[in-house]
Structure 1
Amino acid sequence: MGKREREDPCRVCRHYHNYDEGEPCDICGHVGTSTKAAQIQVSSFPSEILPDFLYLGGFDTASNFKIDVTHGISHILNTVPSCENLYPSSFTYHRLRDEKALEFDNAIQFLDKCEIDKSRVLVNCMSGRNRSPAIVVGYLMKRKGWRLAESYQWVKQRRPTIDISPEFQQQLKEFEARLFGSRDGYGLSELNNQLQDLAFGPVNDNIRMDY
């Protein structure tokens, strides 16, 4: 073997790199040199939310054909109505249509089918920080039975760059109330206040769940 490879795969793209020569990966083009590791655009890579099933990313992820194929992704949930589906002959797409409202039921129906078919699916928006993570948080609440705070923290731990807007935070709170009802007899406004500090905050290491 002419090149000395790492014992473990790169934690960013999961491929093996020759650190001495600093050559780009022949699969995804990522240069895995230790001196350049901090310059890697980690946002270009999908974040694994549920093992071998659910991935989260932005437009740069959805547009990188090689990376998606390498991760075994075959389905893409495009949460941005104005964003075109780039590779319709290679991936199965589902695009949400509402610019303002998070279409939880529509998205979950597609994700359910992906899970039944044992397909790996990428949920993307333009940045992978706002609309798509909000949809993923809603999916976890619906299908895992986790409350909003736990679902958000689960996603935040796996993709720290997410930054859900106040508008979508409110829609998530309303979705939680719809799924679980108000807590201890409180109305929605009281429930929102109760969750404000816990949900959408920094990662809480005390909130951990086994998948």
Structure 2
Amino acid sequence: MRKRERENPCGICGHYHKYEEGEVCGVCGHRWKPSDGEGTPAKHESAFPTEVLKDFLFLGSYDNASRSEVLKTLNVSHILNTVPDCHNLYKNSFTYHSLQRDRPLDFDDANRFLEQCERDKSRVLVHCMTGKNRSAAIVAAFLMKSRGWRLAQSFQWVKDRRPQVQLTDASQNELLEYEQKLFGPSSQPVIPTESFASLGFGYPKPAGDTQAPTFNQMTAPSISIFERVGPNDVPPNFAFGAEGTAGVNPDNNDNGGAKANPASTDNPMDSS
């Protein structure tokens, strides 16, 4: 191993390998994508999924789910596949649960599986094709059901940890309907009390990865559920997005027309 390789671990997967564009990591199969040739640096996504709840819940893409060695490093033992047409690659190594329909998203079925994983203290990955829409909606629904958080807090918690999350209109509407199912159609969004920091409404954030308690006090009128606002500046309209009026691409489809090839071994995959 050359000195340059020993001193410079890969910033994406953490392993030591060469940095030439397009070269595959011999340990985990991670590939550096080439740039667009116009002076713009290549955008490299991490081979690791996003940890949403410490030592328990991970959110990621099909590419993340295809890296068995990375998942084993994280001690992930269960995988929730939210795309019915997406193949489960390593049935001998992980416990899989797959949703059986595209729409509407089966939040109740997913929550039963995730709740059992939490009771068993198992680490679980929730994935779709890109890790931006379907799987993110499932995780937000789980936070509402298991933690008693409203949709505003649940979505912001996920968005803060995985900024690339971008829900489609269909997923937004299904989450709104699920919120009404859980909390009632007449219930109002909740602003966290001063005893705990907000998850994105202008309050300071908690130090570290503190798990938030249940939000159970209804002390404020309706607020925007996907918009960052100050405590004294509550807008009347709802808008999806991480930062104010950031739009949602309704054409974002986690299936992306991609077809996953089945595999039966734990050999590292080359996901270029």
For normalisation by structure 1, the TM-score amounts to: 0.76
Aligned to 2:28: 28
**Any conservation in 1 of the 2:227–2:242 contact (CA below 8 Å)?**
no
Matches within 5 A, 1:31-42: 39=42, 41-42=44-45
Output the CA distance in 1 between the equivalents of 2:42 and 2:49: 17
Give a deviation string over 1:76-113, Cα, whole Å, max 9, x none. Answer: 00011111111111100000001111111100110011
**Any conservation in 2 of the 1:153–1:200 contact (CA below 8 Å)?**
no
AA of the residue aligned to 1:85: N
Aligned to 2:241: 201
Match of 1:111 among 92, 114, 120: 114
> Cα 1:107–1:11, aligned 2, differ >3 Å: closer, same or farther?
farther
**Any conservation in 2 of the 1:149–1:200 contact (CA below 8 Å)?**
no
Aligned to 1:188: none
1:82 aligns with 2:122: no
Output the CA distance in 2 between the equivalents of 1:85 and 1:140: 25
1:120 aligns with 2:123: yes
Structure 1 gap segments, 5+ residues each: 33-37, 185-190, 205-211
Q: Which has the larger helix fraction?
A: 1
RMSD over equivalenced CA pairs, Å: 3.0
Structure 2 gap segments, 5+ residues each: 33-40, 189-220, 229-238, 245-272
Output the CA distance in 2 between the equivalents of 1:22 and 1:65: 22
Output the CA distance in 2 between the equivalents of 1:43 and 1:22: 15
Aligned to 1:55: 58
Return 132-141 or 38-47, whichever deviates more. 38-47
Aligned to 1:207: none
**Any conservation in 2 of the 1:77–1:122 contact (CA below 8 Å)?**
yes
For normalisation by structure 2, the TM-score amounts to: 0.60
**Any conservation in 1 of the 2:62–2:129 contact (CA below 8 Å)?**
yes
How far off is 1:117 after superposition?
A: 1.3
> Cα 1:196–1:113, aligned 2, differ >3 Å: closer, same or farther?
closer
Aligned to 1:175: 178
Matches within 5 A, 1:59-70: 59-70=62-73
Return 38-47 or 93-102, whichever deviates more. 38-47
Q: Tell me the SS of whatever aligns to 2:126.
A: strand
AA of the residue aligned to 2:187: R
**Any conservation in 1 of the 2:226–2:242 contact (CA below 8 Å)?**
no
Aligned length: 189
Matches within 5 A, 1:83-162: 83-162=86-165
Give aligned-pair identity as a percent.
50
Output the CA distance in 2 between the equivalents of 1:135 and 1:120: 16
The structure with more radius of gyration: 2
